[in-house]
Structure 1
Amino acid sequence: MGRISFSCLFPASWHFSLSPQLLPRILIPSFRQLIFISLVFCLIGLLYLVLVIGKGHVSWIARENHFHRHLARVTDVDVTDTSNPNLNYGLVVDCGSSGSRVFVYCWPRHNGNPHELLDIRQMRDQHRKPVVMKIKPGISELAKTPEKASDYIYPLLSFAAQHIPKNKHQETPLYILCTAGMRVLPESQQEAILEDLRTDIPVHFKFLFSDSHVEVISGKQEGVYAWIGINFVLGRFNHGDNGGEAEVEVHVPSSDQQDTLRRKRTAGVLDMGGVSTQIAYEVPKTEEVAKNLLAEFNLGCDAHRTEHVYRVYVSTFLGFGGNAARQRYEENLIQKTVIRNKLLGEHVGETAESPLLDPCLPTDLEDQIGTSTERLYLRGTGDFDQCRQILQPFLNRTNDTQSSLNGVYQPAIDYSNSQFYGFSEFYYCTEDVLRMGGDYNASKYAAAAKGYCATKWKTLQERFDSGLYASHADYHRLKYQCFKSAWMYEVFHSGFSFPTNYKNLKTALLVYEKEVQWTLGAILYRTRFLPLRDIQQESLKGTHSHWRHSFSFVNNHYLFLACFFIVLLSIILYLLRLRRIHRLAVKRYTPSSVPWLEEGLVTPMLPITL
């Protein structure tokens, strides 16, 4: 038999050759070698499983989490993507005393986390403007013609319908909520207007609209909605990560015990309009408050969870708004002056030559109040401190502790751990002419107001004409700024009893560049159970969906590993078979031939026969 030469693979000095009988013994591994080879391949496979599949699975989870985070976030300034099938819509019509406005809101499908609320934002058009439309006059003007109510509201709903995809109309809730203007009407007239809306709107529009979706809300409801709106925009309902924000300890009711939670501190709301003033803030469970002054509600979608249970004190004071207070003040001036003139036989205020001095008007400002039969001429003296003193009786406070405007009970406020936002007149009084909107400082505000009041009216007019004041300020603001600044100061510090060193009031028109309306709080509260639908749908398909996504991702990897181990097993079996064949072959050799196979690499020299 021939020999196999390896001289081509090694240097010449290493020249050697093998017989074919010796080759299988060298190439066939031992049993220990087989075990070692198997372990090495297994470790390679496990390493692949951990590094490749594990990494891929984590990245898949990350992509899923990113998807849900993206799904649960609607940007505030971007154009609303109406082609997004996961976007939902809602409408709120605010029927106020001077007019009505429709607000279009939108939110993505709920992310399935029962701890989180819907992420509701105002819808924005292609110009990035909020989708809002206003009409005048107020719906209360239809008191004698209630059959025209649906015609009155039609332009608002038609406007909203054009912005919402038609295939979404049937699942878009519509709420028509009427406020102060309708409250003053007799109940029969209110109901006639509401009934016309309930009957005719479903005929012309396919929105999700039921009888309970149109009503006259109370001042208490309006206050609660305003409180919800501002705290939602501020992110105070996000309890997952407080991010270093101030916290409070709250006690909320549960099924069997009193739970104690620590969560973000909510902000209180102060709102002074033209007619009324309002205050709303969260109170602890331990504080006993009359039911007519307390709103206790759960903003969460699951009634069994308590992290979104809130107790809010809210009180509305009619006649304590800036314009209404000025009207009461003027009526009082007329009444007292008329009586005084009769008693003393004087004619103060009856002519422009003998005006009544008014410390609540800027210096040298001349004004006329009353009717033609009881006209009173005024001249301002611009004395801020005296004006404050005169206005204190108009607060109607009592000597009771924890009493507020009109003697209404007010729960204690933890001034060291609280925050309030002041809207409407609280902002206008500090910003329009004083240019001090934002963080409120009582001493600086009082000094600025005192200086304004003492300034001559002619100088104030020159400043106004030079554009030194806010763009929306007008002569009415200029005339009554002194009075309103004193009234706001007294309401805040004497009426609501905030100390003059209180540092946590922020007066604002916009929050995060958005005008905060009570309608946002209204739709958030009224749609709070909608996430249950998405959560239930997620729970039904969640397991199958997770398995399907997981399998689709790792399927190819597991198939590769299966083929890998099958090939490895085949190699091992093949080598074992070669080993067995080799042993059988060795047994067939004669004993004389065995020694040279075992003892050396070169065959022995055989005797030569001549």
Structure 2
Amino acid sequence: MVFANKKHFPTAIIGVLVAFSIVALVLSLVKTDDVTLPPVVKYGLVFDAGSSHTSLFVYEWDSDKENDTGVVSQTLSCDVQGQGISSYAKDPPKAGDSLRACLETALKVIPAGKQRDVPVYLGATAGMRLLREQNSSSAAQILAEAAKTIQEYPVAFKGARILTGEEEGAYGWITINYLLDSFTKYSPKAHTWVHPEAASILGALDLGGASTQISFVPEGSVRNWSETSTFTLYGYNYNIYTQSYLCYGQNEILKRLAKELIVEAAFSSRVEHPCYPKDFKETISLSSFSTSPCTNQSDPGLAFGDRDVTLEGSGNASACLAALRKLFNFSACEQIQDCTFDGVTQPPLTGQFVAFSAFYYNFKFLNLTKGQPLATVRETIKDFCTRSWEDLSSSYPDENPQRLSKYCTNANYILTLLSAYKFNESSWNNIFFQMKAGSADIGWTLGYMLNLTNMIPGEAPARRKAQLPSLWAAAIAFIILTLTLGFAALLLLLWGK
């Protein structure tokens, strides 16, 4: 570089260096949040392969908030056409094919550049647990076909497996408490995370087609409850009691009830059904009882094969309740303390509960999800059960007839089951019937994904960054400024010589 006037050289050098120093100082005063790049949106997919149907859920969250609470949102839910994958025991490839339409729908909402990094899980529940009992090779083949189909798409497939009943219950419990901020909350005032009171931890009540689950945190010591699991979430330990009852889902109860009524009627061709509406008729084949381990117990009368039986509704609510109670083995609890039914022990109920899935859908239809007292619930169900089929059909013309005819049975079964769980007039108001929390459906799928992606840390979240100037940037600016002034002084010294 050539200067027109050599004596101006030191002044020019010093001016340039001071300018750099000013720029560095300004950068040091910029807030860290002002220069942070936008977070990356991430996605996850979970198939809920239930006993009666399969659903696909698409979740999304910002990458910089993976370990926060309540930040995962549900982007999409897609109902797979047809029955549950366990119904494809005789043609397993169709189980995989049934998933294609929802997979293609899900990929339309995920940017193409991110699809290969999207984790995809398939969890099968009680329907597949029952099929595995009947035919383990068919169950394995169905899962293999489902996995094969998913792997044809540009996603990060993470596996297809059958959940235990206890896992299903625990993941539902995690979903509820995660979505409702029961595990931890960020306090803007304190600039830190706080742990809610123990009373705000919610219990979970799930009712599916083939099984039902109850999960909650018992009060005091957990004693030696064999059904208790321990989770460490956000730095706190939770001892969860979770119990699953196979063959107590609403679809299996309907089959079990029909079978018991037929057996009691000595296999007559026409059998009175107290839970069906008066004048409603349904014809079933005795061979249908052989399709499930819940009704496939040996019984001489069922050996008549494909003989049909007609069930005729009588609309008798009290007789319906009595018939449903016979499906529970309460006598097995006579000598056992803290026992519900079938010889299963349960800690005393504590806290509030969220009842979802079939609990919600049946009570929603009957307009019983608004916190009505138990006496009102019982009276509403009783009145509904006394209505004739003609009355119901004309009053609910848009309702599926198969579902409409079963609401009396399902509602009375819910009353019987919740009573077996030890809910009574005083604790009934602790049950909240709901299916959504924010934008997300309540169920086990979100808890399952959160667990497998380690998005709920065992340790407590670190203190959030305060909105202050970056100490690192200030330190770097100070060093640059010091070096600049030192270099300028050296130049002046050399120039003076």
TM-score normalized with structure 2 length: 0.71
How much does 1:520 deviate? 1.0
User: In 1, Cα distance between the equivalents of 2:403 and 2:171?
Assistant: 28
Aligned letter for 2:349? I
Q: Distance in 2 between matches of 1:407 and 1:442?
A: 26
1:92 and 2:46 are equivalent in the alignment: yes
User: Structure 1 pair 476/98, CA: closer, same or farther in 2 (3 Å)?
Assistant: closer
- SS at 1:407's partner residue? coil
Match of 2:385 in 1: 453
Partner of 2:453: 527
Greater gyration radius: 1
1:106 counterpart residue number: 60
Per-residue CA deviations over 1:540-561 (Å, capped at 9, x if unaligned) read x99xx933444699999x99xx
Contact between 1:118 and 1:528, CA under 8 Å: does it hold in 2? no
Contact 2:213 2:242 in 1 (8 A): yes
Structure possessing the higher relative contact order (Cα contacts under 8 Å, 6 or more residues apart): 2
Greater Cα offset, 262-271 or 227-236: 262-271
Q: What is the match of residue 179 of structure 1?
A: 125
Out of 427, 451, 454, the position equivalent to 2:360 is 427
Distance 1:209 1:551 in 2: 46
Cα deviation, residue 521, structure 1? 1.1
User: Displacement, 1:107?
Assistant: 0.9
In percent, how many aligned pairs have the same letter?
Answer: 25
State the match for 1:343 in structure 2.
none
Task: Look up the match of 1:389.
Answer: 322
Contact 1:96 1:179 in 2 (8 A): yes
Q: Distance in 2 between matches of 1:389 and 1:196?
A: 43
Measure how far apart 1:89 and its partner are.
1.6
User: What's the CA shift string for 1:246-304, capped at 9, x where partnerless?
Assistant: xxx9xxxxxxxxxxx9546221111223332221112357113444x23322344xxxx
8 Å contact kept, 1:228–1:521: yes
The amino acid of 1:462's aligned partner reads S
**1:213-228 correspondence runs (5 A):** 213-228=159-174
* One-letter identity of the residue aligned with 1:463: S
2:210 aligned to which of 258, 263, 275? 275
SS in structure 1 at match of 2:396 = helix
Distance 1:195 1:455 in 2: 47
Q: 1:141 to 1:365 in 2, by over 3 A?
A: closer
Kept in 2, the 8 Å contact 1:89–1:172? The answer is yes
Quickly say closer, same or farther: Cα 1:481–1:529, change in 2 above 3 A: closer
Query: What is the TM-score of this pair, normalised by structure 1?
Result: 0.59
Q: CA RMSD in A?
A: 4.2
Q: Equivalent of 1:360, from 275, 293, 298?
A: 275
CA distance in 1, matches of 2:48, 2:406: 28
More off after superposition, 158-167 vs 394-403: 158-167
CA distance in 2 between partners of 1:461 and 1:232 (Å): 41
User: Partner of 2:394 in structure 1?
Assistant: 462
SS in structure 2 at match of 1:378: strand
| In the alignment, structure 1 residue 321 sits paired with structure 2 residue 275 | no
Does structure 2 conserve the Cα–Cα contact (< 8 Å) formed by 1:242 and 1:263? no
* Match of residue 231, structure 2, among 290, 294, 297: 297
| Match runs of 1:58-69 below 5 Å | 60=31
- For this pair of structures, how many residues does the alignment match? 421
Summarize the Cα distance change of 1:401–1:93 in structure 2 as closer, same or farther, 3 Å threshold. Answer: same
For 1:531-550, what aligned pairs fall within 5 Å after superposition? 546-550=470-474
Does residue 168 (structure 1) correspond to residue 103 (structure 2)? The answer is no
How far apart are residue 143 of structure 1 and its match? 4.6
Identify the match of residue 412 of structure 1 among 306, 327, 348: 348
Q: Of 156, 164, 189, which aligns to 1:208?
A: 156
Q: Is the 8 A contact 1:426 1:488 kept in 2?
A: yes
Cα offsets for 1:82-111 (capped at 9, x unmatched): xx6521222222333444433221111234
What CA distance in whole angstroms lies between the structure 2 residues aligned with 1:530 and 1:421? Answer: 21
* 1:509 has 2:441 as partner: no
Q: Distance in 1 between matches of 2:149 and 2:358?
A: 38
How far has the Cα of 1:178 moved from its partner?
2.4
Q: Does residue 496 of structure 1 match 2:496?
A: no
Give the secondary structure class of the aligned counterpart of 1:274: coil
Gaps (5+ residues) in structure 1? 1-52, 72-83, 124-129, 244-248, 250-260, 301-305, 340-348, 466-470, 563-610
Shift of 1:215: 1.9
Letter in 1 for 2:262: I
Which residues of structure 2 form unaligned runs of 5+? 1-24, 190-194, 286-305, 486-497
Distance change >3 Å, CA 264–CA 90, structure 1 → 2: farther
- The whole-number CA distance in structure 2 between the counterparts of 1:282 and 1:530 is 18
